[in-house]
Amino acid sequence: MRKYLFSSLLLFFAYFASFSQEKGQLSGNFQLDAQIYNEDTIIGATVPPAKMGINSYANFTYTYGNFSAGLRYEAYLPQMNGFMPQYEGTGIPYKYLNYKADQLEITVGNFYEQFGAGLTLRTYEEKNLGYDNALEGARVRYNAYKGIYLTVLAGSERSFWEYKGKVRGLNADVNLNELLKPLETSKTLIQLGTSFVSKFQADKNSNWKLPENVLNQAYRISVGRGKVQFSAEYAYKINDPSSDNGNIYKPGEALFVNASYSQKGLGVLLTAKRVDNMSFRADRTANLANLSINYLPDITKNHTYALAAMYPYATQLNGEAGVNTEITKKFDKNTLLGGKYGTSLSISFSRITNIIKEQVSESIAIDSAYSMGYSSSMSNYIDELLNEDIFYQDLHIELSKKLSDKLKGQVSYQHIKYNDAVIMGSNSGLHEPIEADVVITDMTYKFKAKKSIRLELQHLSTEQDYKNWAMALVELTVPNWFFTVLDQYNYSNPNEDKQVHYPKIAMGYIKGANRIELGYGKQRRGIVCVGGICRAVPASNGLTLSVVSSF
């Protein structure tokens, strides 16, 4: 089947290529990441047998009238350290044909899709993280009536170079302002939606009866009027014993609520969610990031600075209650707090805790395999937020200000509580949950148009984990070029032999849609960010090359 589909795509490209000068259009992009490794036993950097790793991707899309076709070539020769070894090799795992006209759109082959907030279905790719759960099958989108939008799909989900499982989905979005004439001119905008996604997997367990068809359904609403926006989505999944939940028969549910207010100079955001046993995979035995069908949004603040991002939060599929609020205020120019150039202040707070679980029977322990597992209720949400079983908590304050025509600066403070025994699955006997304080200063001096120098100073202090870190970065930007020198120093590591520096130098060239970067140095294990670009990597020491281009 897949061979026939690929042959059809080749014929499609060949047929329309003759018309490309008149009507067709070819576009695409290319990315290559490579690293040559050096061994460094102090930081735990290893050298694979191939001595280097290469990840590369090339996307091609051809459009002709109402038709489009595309494919992606991938090569891992072999994969870089930190990426799953199952990726090693080359091939074309992504290809599709698409037709779109009037109210109808048909896609066959591979595609990405998201229903609502993703509580029932979200497929997407993030190559820098090695994540891709594309579907292979067919999808139809249809504007059935004014204000009514339907999506129907069926397919298998990508697992490295293969496609596994059987996923079926139906989504409906209704825009009441388009559907109902009395609301056409209303200032209040209302949208409703519902999703139904099911998976099929044969029951081969001879001891227990497992559900072969598992349905995950969601209902959502979005209301907006002027400066105020509100949205909510609730999902319910029938019992789905799996490796994630310890093979319990308890149904799952999730609630995601988002409210915001914005006006000139002020923005307020409040987000809340509760997740209870919502792992949903195409294969009940899968783990890590493999074969996930749905997506449970992370509501914590996304940090881009290296030390602020040292302890990132990972959604707990089996249960979590969380809240996040963020207030952004801009003080006008020529005011007491704004000064000559104005000032921007941002304050955010996130808190994620465990949900309250109770025994379903005195004779059955909580989370016992092949039982109902436990009982839990959405009504406990406030009590759960206030309990001391904290997974993650983050207070972040950021002040940005232009100091002169050429100088601008940013200062931030972060206090974080981080239970890595839960979040990262660490050995809880190593240390207690982490509490850390991070202070960051970022100053940019602009010499003239497109010429600037940036200084970044960071410090993280904690009594747990590897204790204190300091970091300094200098980045020079001139037309089309940038040069970066940085060093991270774990100066109070409990193991004195590991109180080491992590220096790195990098340079890059940017022109149009093309970007080339070459770097050499050490990277600590965890999340490493340079210039706002982040990737989860193991400790490494060596030469790196990155090439990105589009046409």
Query: 352-364 pLDDT, tens per residue?
Result: 999 999 999 999 9
Token couple for 121: 């279905």
**DSSP H or E run through 520:** strand 514-523
What is the CA angle 544-549-551, rounded to 5? 170
**Residues of the chain predicted below pLDDT 50:** 1, 5, 428-429, 528-535
- pLDDT for 206 equals 81
If 0-12 CB within 10 Å is exposed, 13-18 middle and 19+ buried, where does residue 513 land? exposed
- Cβ distance 498 to 466 under 8 Å? yes
**All structural domains of the chain with their residue ranges:** 2-305+434-550
Q: Which amino acid is at 344?
A: S
The pTM for the full model equals 0.90
- Cβ distance 280 to 293 under 8 Å? yes
Q: Which amino acid is at 164?
A: K
- pLDDT for 429 equals 47
Token couple for 304: 């881009």
- Cβ distance 284 to 240 under 8 Å? yes
Q: Which fold has domain 2-305+434-550?
A: Maltoporin; Chain A (2.40.170)
Rounded CA separation 147/103 (Å): 11
**Which of 343, 311, 282, 373 is CA-nearest to residue 536?**
311
Token couple for 122: 């979200």
- Cβ distance 453 to 477 under 8 Å? yes
Cβ neighbours around 162 below 10 Å, total: 12
- pLDDT for 132 equals 93
CA 149 to centroid of chain Cα atoms: 26
Give the DSSP letter string of 129-165: GTEE--EEEEEEEEEEETTEEEEEEEEEEEETTEEEE
Token couple for 542: 């060596």
* 3-class DSSP assignment, residue 212: coil
